[in-house]
C-alpha cells in the first residue's frame, strides 16, 4: 500500500490581517476480504454442420436440454449468453456457439451438473465462486468506513506533528473497487466424460476502498 500526503501552505490576508491556512492532501485505502458464497460455472455449446441452420438447430437442442436439467436443481439459476454463427474452412461448413452460465444453489450440486453437461458434449470454460450482491454492498460499506477512519487518523497525526488542528475537510473522493470475478479455468475444455465432477477451491474475495481528501489545517 502506498500512502501519500501533500501539504500546501496558503496565506490569506482578509482586511489586512494575516491568517495562515494549511491545505493537506491525503490518500488512504482499506481492504476487506470475504469468503465467496455463490458458486458458478460457465459452459459453451458448439456444433458444426454443412449449413448454418443445421448447426444452429443442434446448438438450440443442446442448450434447451441443458436448461431443462438445470431447472431440476434447487435454487440454481441458468442463463444463456452470446450466440454466434460463422463459417469454418477446415472442414468447410458452419459452426454455431452459445454460452450458458450456472449460478447459485449448492456448490456440490452445481459442480455435479457441470460435470454431467461436460460429459454430454458441452465445453466447461470455467468454474468458481463469487460474492452475492448483498455481500458485495456490505463489504464495500465496511471497506469505505475503514478507509475514512484511517484518513481521519492520519490527518490528526499530521496536524499534531505540525502543531496545528484539523479545521475542516474541503474535498473528499471515495472509490470502492469491486472485485473482477473471473472463473477459474477448467483444466481442459473437453467433451470426454469425467470420472468425477470438476472441483474449485476459490480464494477469498478482496474489496478495496480508496479515499482521498483535501483537509484544511489551522493554528491551534
Sheet with strand 123-130: strands edge to edge: 76-89, 92-104, 38-49, 123-130, 184-185
Coil, strand or helix at 111? helix
Rounded CA separation 30/71 (Å): 40
Is it the case that residue 6 has pLDDT exceeding 70? no
Rounded CA separation 200/179 (Å): 18
Q: Grid coordinates representing 77?
A: 439459476
Dihedral sign (CA 52, 190, 112, 136): negative
∠ Cα 183 185 187 (to 5°): 150
Is it the case that residue 54 has pLDDT exceeding 50? yes
- pLDDT tier at 106 (50, 70, 90 boundaries)? confident
Region 152-177: mean pLDDT is 93
Identify whether 29 is preceded by a cis peptide bond (ω within 30 of 0).
no
- What pLDDT is stored for residue 196 in this prediction? 65
Is it the case that residue 18 has pLDDT exceeding 60? no
Q: Grid coordinates representing 180?
A: 473482477
Amino acid at each position: 500500500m502506498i500512502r501519500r500526503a501533500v501539504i500546501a501552505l496558503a496565506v490569506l490576508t482578509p482586511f489586512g490581517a494575516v491568517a495562515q491556512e494549511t491545505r493537506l492532501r491525503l490518500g488512504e485505502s482499506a481492504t476487506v476480504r470475504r469468503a465467496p458464497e455463490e458458486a458458478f460455472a460457465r459452459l459453451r455449446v458448439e456444433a458444426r454442420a454443412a449449413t448454418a441452420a443445421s448447426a444452429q438447430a443442434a446448438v438450440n437442442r443442446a442448450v434447451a436440454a441443458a436448461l431443462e436439467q438445470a431447472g431440476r436443481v434447487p435454487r440454481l439459476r441458468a442463463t444463456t449468453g452470446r450466440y454466434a454463427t460463422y463459417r469454418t474452412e477446415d472442414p468447410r461448413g458452419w459452426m454455431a456457439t452459445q454460452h450458458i452460465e450456472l449460478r447459485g444453489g449448492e456448490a456440490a450440486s452445481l459442480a455435479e451438473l457441470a460435470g454431467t453437461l461436460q460429459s454430454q458434449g458441452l465445453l466447461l470454460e470455467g468454474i468458481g465462486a463469487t460474492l452475492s450482491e448483498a455481500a458485495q454492498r456490505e463489504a464495500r460499506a465496511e471497506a469505505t468506513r475503514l478507509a475514512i477512519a484511517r484518513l481521519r487518523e492520519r490527518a490528526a497525526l499530521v496536524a499534531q506533528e505540525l502543531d496545528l488542528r484539523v479545521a475542516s475537510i474541503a474535498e473528499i473522493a471515495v472509490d470502492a473497487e469491486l472485485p473482477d470475478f473471473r472463473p477459474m479455468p477448467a483444466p481442459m475444455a473437453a467433451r470426454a466424460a469425467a470420472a468425477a465432477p470438476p472441483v474449485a477451491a476459490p480464494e477469498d474475495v478482496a474489496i478495496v476502498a480508496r479515499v482521498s481528501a483535501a483537509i484544511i489545517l489551522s493554528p491551534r
